[in-house]
């Protein structure tokens, strides 16, 4: 299902294929990112989620298919891995001023907006995982994006902090009106505030919208009732399954279900 409103998508991906060393990582993938909406890509490790995000960003050239970006699109990107030289004594303010310089008060405002204004003069190396992710978010906000791409933004953040961070991303989206493309392999946490979920396992296994709040016992056990109240169930239908070798077969033909796609 493509984005449902009539606005021209910020990014439109059609029939994209990417392969590395003869292995197909993305196969015939379509994706629409509409203004102000959140799309979450879920899937197992190695499914091609980061590769698809990089295609959206223009960092990975597709080997087939088309990617159209709206003219003037500004993108903020929080990558899954950030190659920072952790031995360099660098403050947060200095880090955020690279490569593009911003006024100190602009950096301070971005940091305050994500709740870590107090880190401005701290060494980056001294930040906790949760603080660093917020600093990365501030870095993305400084670009005044109309699309924010977040690749596994919860890494290094404890469970309580993950919920806070998701709340923050939702609030920022409302305030700034940007679209969000989120990558995750965690089905549970990402459901809140997501208009469309795309389940990717090299191809798009299925896509759909989150529904009501989850009361799954395992979820309650893991995250507690506060988290459960905030989570939504991802509802979709399976049209196919995978054989053990990964081949796609009709659902009734018997095989393993599409990974990470069972309703919770
Ligand atoms: N530049 C590259 N050169 C060669 N192989 C690559 C390259 N980029 C990605 N791959 C391979 O493509 C596959 C998909 O990688 P990708 O990072 O997109 O998966 P992912 O779904 O984001 O995984 P994870 O959840 O583990 O982060 C992996 O097998 C990876 O090793």
pTM attached to this predicted model? 0.80
What pLDDT does 87 receive? 74
Residues 102-111, mean pLDDT to the nearest whole number: 93
Most informative mutation of 27, 42, 49, 260 for ligand 1 (most atoms within 8 A of CB)? 49
3-state secondary structure labels for all residues of the chain: CCCCCCCCCCEEEEEEEEEECCEEEEEEEEEEECCCCEEEEECCCCCCHHHHHHHHHCCCCCCEEEEEECCCCCEEEECCCCCCCCCCCCEHHHHHCCCCCCCHHHHHHHHHHCCCHHHCCCEHHHCCHHHHHHHHHHHHHCCCCCEEEEECCCCCCCHHHHHHHHHHHHHHHHHHCCEEEEEECCCCHHHCCCCEEEEEECEEEEEECEEEECCCHHHHHHHHHHHHHHCEEECCCCCEEECCCCCEEEHHHCCEECCCCCCC
257 against 203, higher pLDDT: 203
CA 222, CA 219: separation in Å to the nearest integer?
A: 5
What is the percent of the chain where pLDDT is above 70?
72
C-beta 201 within 6 A of ligand 1: no
29 against 5, higher pLDDT: 29
User: With 80 as the cut, is the pLDDT of residue 84 above it?
Assistant: no
Task: Determine how β-strand 240-242 pairs with β-strand 232-234.
Answer: unpaired
120 within domain boundaries: yes
115 within domain boundaries: yes
Q: How many angstroms is it from 119 CA to the middle of ligand 1?
A: 33
135 within domain boundaries: yes
- What total of structural domains would you count in the chain? 1
pLDDT band at 209 (very low <50, low <70, confident <90, very high): confident
pLDDT band at 184 (very low <50, low <70, confident <90, very high): confident
159 within domain boundaries: no
Residues 162-182, mean pLDDT to the nearest whole number: 92
CA 85, CA 108: separation in Å to the nearest integer?
A: 23
In this structure, the number of other CB atoms found within 10 A of the CB of residue 66 comes to 11
62 against 224, higher pLDDT: 62
C-beta 79 within 6 A of ligand 1: no
Nearest CA owner, ligand 1 atom 29: 46
225 within domain boundaries: no
pLDDT band at 155 (very low <50, low <70, confident <90, very high): confident
User: With 90 as the cut, is the pLDDT of residue 13 above it?
Assistant: yes
Q: Which domain holds residue 102?
A: 88-143
Residues 14-27, mean pLDDT to the nearest whole number: 94
80 within domain boundaries: no
116 within domain boundaries: yes
123 within domain boundaries: yes
Ligand 1 atom nearest residue 48's Cα: 18
Closest among 244, 228, 229 to 254, alpha carbons compared:
244
């Amino acid at each position: 299902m493509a984005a449902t409103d009539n606005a021209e998508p910020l990014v439109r991906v059609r029939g994209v294929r990417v392969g590395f060393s003869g292995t197909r990582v993305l196969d015939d993938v379509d994706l629409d990112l509409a203004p102000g909406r959140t799309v979450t890509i879920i899937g197992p490790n190695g499914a091609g989620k980061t590769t698809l995000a990089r295609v959206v960003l223009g960092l990975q050239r597709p080997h087939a298919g088309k990617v159209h970006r709206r003219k003037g699109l500004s993108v903020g990107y929080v990558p899954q891995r950030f190659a920072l030289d952790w031995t360099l004594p660098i403050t947060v303010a200095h880090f955020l001023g690279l490569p593009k310089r911003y006024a100190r008060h602009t950096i301070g405002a971005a940091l305050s907006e994500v709740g870590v204004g107090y880190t401005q003069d701290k060494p980056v190396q001294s930040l906790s995982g949760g603080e660093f992710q917020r600093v990365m978010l501030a870095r993305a906000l400084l670009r005044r994006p109309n699309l924010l791409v977040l690749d596994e933004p919860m890494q290094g953040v404890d469970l309580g902090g993950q919920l806070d961070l998701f709340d923050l991303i939702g609030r920022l989206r409302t305030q700034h009106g940007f679209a969000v493309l989120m990558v995750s392999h965690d089905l549970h946490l990402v459901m809140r505030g997501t208009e469309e979920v795309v389940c990717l396992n090299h191809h798009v296994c299925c896509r759909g919208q989150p529904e009501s709040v989850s009361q799954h016992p395992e979820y309650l056990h893991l995250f507690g009732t506060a988290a459960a109240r905030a989570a939504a169930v991802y509802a979709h239908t399976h049209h196919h399954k995978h054989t053990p070798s990964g081949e796609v077969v009709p659902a009734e033909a018997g095989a393993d279900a599409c990974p990470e796609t069972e309703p919770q």
